[in-house]
């Protein structure tokens, strides 16, 4: 009983920790559970992992089949259309309906002005984990060398030419909105979309549109709630299907980067 209680406690603590950085989504959980089952089964086909209750290779073969089935179902699942709800934010004006998303938020003891300045000033060099994950992603794409992380503010880099991103709205005192249009699952130059109007009007099949924001709301008593949300939508059914497979694989890394970005903003704002 003690052993079972300890295992359950470790699982609960792990879930809470993971959910902080990677907000749990059903399809992503299913995909990685399936991949995990496949990995355990593959090892057990060579040498059964008895401490996991796998004492025969036949059991490992069944587990492998289940893992493959779960992973295929998860990566093939058709994402529903989601419609924005809750208090209006500027992000809604650029993408009110979407199929894929992630959202992170926290509270910081600072003034809205300090948060706004931190949003503008935080740099990639302030987020080592983001640099590491982007390098790993580059290596997976065949790029084994990478320049050192930029010491320029992240939003300045993303707003510059050649970044692949564009500014959708940077004029509000409490929210920054950016976006991009492209095929992140494939190589090749993105389409030429350089204005908010062009972003809204773009509908060429075969692409995905991404909009994201950083928003800060004064809650009073010296606290500000800071959030970042990313929304994605394919321009046709096929691109939604292809991007869905891509998204479920890269979602954990993407979520960690955005959470680390948010944490870096909080640290800089608290430093005042």
Q: What is the per-residue pLDDT for 68?
A: 96
Are residue 8 and residue 131 in the same domain, yes or no?
Answer: no
3-state secondary structure of 12: helix
- Structural domains of the chain, count: 2
Are residue 17 and residue 124 in the same domain, yes or no?
Answer: no
Which CATH number is 151's domain given?
A: 3.30.530
Give the global pTM.
Answer: 0.87
Are residue 62 and residue 158 in the same domain, yes or no?
Answer: no
pLDDT in tens, 70-122: 999 999 998 999 999 889 999 999 999 999 999 999 999 999 999 999 999 99
Say how far apart CA 230 and CA 240 lie, in whole Å.
16
Cα–Cα separations (whole angstroms), residue 77 to 57, 80, 184? 30, 9, 19
Asked whether the predicted pLDDT for residue 262 surpasses 90, the reply is yes
């Amino acid at each position: 009983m003690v052993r079972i209680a300890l295992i359950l406690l470790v699982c609960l603590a792990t879930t809470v920790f993971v959910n902080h950085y990677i907000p749990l989504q059903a399809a992503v959980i299913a995909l990685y559970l399936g991949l995990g089952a496949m990995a355990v089964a593959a090892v057990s086909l060579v040498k059964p992992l008895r401490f996991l209750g796998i004492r025969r290779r036949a059991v490992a073969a069944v587990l492998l089949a289940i893992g493959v089935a779960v992973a295929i179902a998860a990566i093939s699942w058709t994402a529903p259309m989601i419609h924005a709800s809750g208090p209006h934010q500027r992000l809604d004006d650029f993408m009110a309906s979407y199929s894929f998303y992630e959202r992170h938020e926290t509270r910081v003891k600072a003034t809205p002005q300090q948060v706004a300045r931190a949003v503008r000033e935080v740099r990639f060099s302030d987020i080592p984990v983001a640099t590491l994950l982007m390098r790993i992603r580059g290596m997976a794409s065949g790029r084994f060398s990478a320049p050192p992380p930029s010491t320029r503010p992240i939003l300045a880099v993303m707003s510059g030419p050649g970044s692949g991103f564009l500014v959708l709205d940077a004029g509000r005192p409490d929210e920054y909105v950016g976006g991009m249009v492209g095929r992140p699952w494939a190589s090749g130059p993105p389409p030429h979309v350089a204005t908010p109007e062009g972003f809204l009007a773009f509908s060429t099949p075969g692409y995905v549109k991404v909009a994201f924001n950083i928003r800060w709301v004064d809650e009073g008593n010296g606290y500000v709630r800071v959030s970042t949300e990313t929304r994605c939508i394919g321009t046709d059914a096929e691109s939604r299907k292809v991007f869905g497979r891509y998204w479920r694989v890269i979602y954990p890394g993407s979520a960690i980067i955005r959470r680390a970005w948010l944490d870096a903003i909080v640290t800089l704002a608290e430093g005042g």
